[in-house]
Amino acid sequence: MAEDKPARYTDFIREVIDNDLATGKHKSIHTRFPPEPNGYLHIGHAKSLCINFGIAEDYNGLCNLRFDDSNPVKEKQEYIEAIKEDIKWLGFDWEDREYYASDYFNQLYQWAMQLIKKSKAYVCDLSADEIRETRGTLTEPGKESPYRNRSVEENLDLFERMKTGEFPNGSRVLRAKIDMAASNINMRDPVMYRILHKSHHRQGDKWCIYPTYDFTHGQSDSIEEITHSLCSLEFEDHRPLYDWYLEQLGIFHPQQIEFARLNLSYTVLSKRKLLKLVGGGDINAWDDPRMPTLSGLRRRGYTPEAIRNFLERVGVAKTDSVVDMALLEHCLREDLNKRAQRVMAVLHPLRVVIDNYPEDKVEELDCVNNPEDPSMGTREVPFSRVLYLEQDDFREEPPKKYFRLAPGREIRLRYAYFIKCVDVIKDEKGKVVELHCTYDPKTRGGDAPDGRKVKATLHWVSANHALKAEVRLYDRLFTKANPNEVDEGKDFTSNVNSKSLEILRSCRVEPSLKDAAPGNRYQFERLGYFCVNPDSSDGALVFNRTVSLRDTWAKIEKAQKEL
C-alpha cells in the first residue's frame, strides 16, 4: 500500500533531478555553490545557496563550497572569510568539502595541452581589442585568426613558454578552436588562458597564465563529480561551451541548469556595483545596514530564517523578474513578530510631569515580553512622576482623527494609568517643551473601573530610570525602484538615497535594556523592530532600526485580493 507522503516542494530543477534518479542516470545528487571571492555575498547569492544546499538536503545529497578563484586581479582572502561566515550564518554546512578552483590549475593545464594535441586549441597573438573586433556580431560571423592554423608543435611550445613567463601580459592567449561562424558568440574560438603576471592568493607566483571562467567551471564541476551544476540565467549562453569542453576532454559530464536571478526593487544585486558603493563614500562598508549583502542584512537585524522564508516564497523560476522589497520586509516582520521581545523606547522625547503623582514614588509595572509567545514571560518597568513620551504623540491643536494626547484630553499609558493633559509649557520660540498631566490612580493596569474609554494607548519611559541611546534609522538605499534607470551621462550611483540614514542621539529606552547585547533584537512598541548595533563596544547603547511596523506588503496583498 502506498504510504502517505507529505507533498514535497517541487520546481523545474527538482523535476529534472527526480527524472535522473528515476532513470538511474544518477544514484545520488551532488551540487555546489561556486562564489568568486571578489566581494561579499548578497541576497541574490542567498538564493543560489538555498537552491544548491536546499536540493542537496532534500535528496540526501551533498553540496560543495567551491571558490571560483581563477582571476587573481579582484580576489582576496578577506572575501573568502566573509563568504564562509555568511554561509554559516544562513545555516548551511559544506562540512569538509571546501574546494578551490585554483587547486585544479595543474589538471586544467594538462587538459589544455590535451586540447592542443587534438588540434582543438591554439595560441593566438591577437590583442584583446583585435579579438573583440574580429569576433563578429549577432548577425555577422567572426573572422578567423591568422594564428588559427599553427601546428600542434608550435602551439605546445608557445603555450609552454606562456606558462614559464616568457611573454608580457596580454601578448598572447590560448583559444579553443571551435567555429568563428557559430551563431552563439561564446563558441567563436573563446579564450581559455590569458597571461597575467600577478600573484594568486593561494598559488603565489606559481602561475602567470590563468584559465578563464568558462575553461575552469565545467571541469571543476567534473572533478568534483557534481551531478547538477545550478547557476543563474546569464550562463545559459555559455552552456554549449560548458558541454563542448567536457565532451572534447571525454570526462564526467555534469548537467548545467539555469534559473532566474533574484532582483530586488530599490537595491542593486551585483558585486561590481556594490563594490563601487563601498569605495564611493556613500556607504562605507560591505556590511553597512543599508546594503543588500548578507553581512549588511545581518547587521541591520535580519534573521536567516526571514531570508530563507522570503526566498522560498519567491521560488525558482526560469524567467527574470523583480521582487518587491516589501515582500522581504514582510517576511522579516513575520519572523521578528514571533521572536522579538517588546520593550518601550522613546525616540523623540517630550518631558511629561504627572502633577498628582508622589515625588519619590516608583512603581514596578509588570509588562508582557511577547504577546505572541507567553513563554517569553514578563519583566518589570519602573513608573514615576516624570516621564518621556514621544513628541509626535502630542498635538496642541489636534487635527481630525488624531486621537493621541492633546490639551484637556485623556489617554492610556501602556501598562500604567490614564493620564489627562492639564498644561502645556513652551520655550520662548513657542516650541512645546513640557506637559503637565494628572493621572487617575484607579486606572492602574490601563482600564477605568467606571468604564470610561480613551482612544489611544501610548508608550513611555520613566525619565529618571530610562537609559540614553543612539538610534539609527535607515531608509531605502536608492530613491528609485529601479536604480539602473538613470539620466543620460549618469550611472546608478546618482540614484543613491542621500537621506537613507538618520541618526537620533537623545533617545531613551527602558532600563531593562541595560544588558542588551550586540545583535539582540527588540520590538520598540509602536515604533518598529530594532537591534543592537554589533560594534557599540564603548558601552554606549546604539540601535539599528531593522524595519518599521508598517507593513506595505500586507496592503499590497490585500489590494490584490480585492481586485
Strands 98-100 and 62-67: parallel
Q: 229 with 287: CB under 8 angstroms?
A: no
Active site residue 363: no
Nearer to ligand ATP among residue 84 and residue 120 (C-beta): 84
3-class secondary structure, 149: coil
**Angle at 147 (CA atoms; ends 146, 151), nearest 5 degrees:** 135
List 14, 32, 66, 271, catalytic entry: 271
Question: Contact at 8 Å (CB) between 13 and 316?
Answer: yes
Own/partner long-range contacts of 4-8 (Cβ < 8 Å, ≥24 apart): 8/58
In the complex, the smallest distance separating the C-beta of residue 272 from ligand ATP, rounded to whole angstroms, is: 6
The number of residues in the chain equals 563
CA distances from 431 to 258, 411, 425, 426, 507 (A): 61, 22, 8, 5, 19
Name the residues that contact ligand ATP, by CB under 6 A: 34-36, 44-45, 47-48, 231-232, 261-262, 269-272
Q: Which residues have CB under 8 Å from 99's CB, separation 6+?
A: 32, 64, 65, 66, 67, 220, 224
Compute the radius of gyration of the chain from its Cα atoms.
Answer: 31
The per-residue DSSP string of 391-409 comes to: GGGB-SSPPTT--SB-TT-
Establish how many alpha carbons lie within 13 A of residue 278's alpha carbon, considering only the half-sphere containing its beta carbon: 17
Compare residues 293 and 523 and give the one whose CB is closer to ligand ATP: 293
Query: Closest distance between ligand ATP and the C-beta of residue 321, in Å?
Result: 11
> In this structure, what DSSP letter does residue 374 have?
G
Instruction: Choose the catalytic residue: 84, 120, 261, 526.
Output: 261
Distances (CA, A) of 445 to 178, 180, 344, 466: 81, 81, 16, 20
Closest distance between ligand ATP and the C-beta of residue 44, in Å? 2
Strand partners, 343: 524
Using CA atoms, how far residue 400 sits from 167, 406, 431, in Å, is: 80, 12, 22
- The smaller minimum CB distance to ligand ATP, of residues 248 and 263, is found at 263
Our answer to whether residue 36 is catalytic in this structure is yes
* Grid cell for residue 199: 600573484
C-alpha–C-alpha distance, residues 532 and 521, integer Å: 7
Contact 43, 269 (CB under 8 A): yes
Number of H helices, E strands in the chain: 13, 27
Q: Could you confirm whether 261 is annotated as catalytic?
A: yes
Residue whose entry in the numeric block shows the C-alpha cell 608550435: 154
Closest residue by Cα to residue 269 from 329, 333, 326, 325: 325
Taking CA atoms, 107 is separated from 65, 103, 114, 215, in Å, by: 19, 9, 11, 12
Closest-by-Cβ residue to ligand ATP is 44
Q: Give the distance between the most distant pair of CA atoms in the chain.
A: 103
Cell triple for residue 103?
587547486
Residue 319 or 498: the one with the smaller Cβ distance to ligand ATP is 319
- Which residues are catalytic, by number? 36, 261, 271
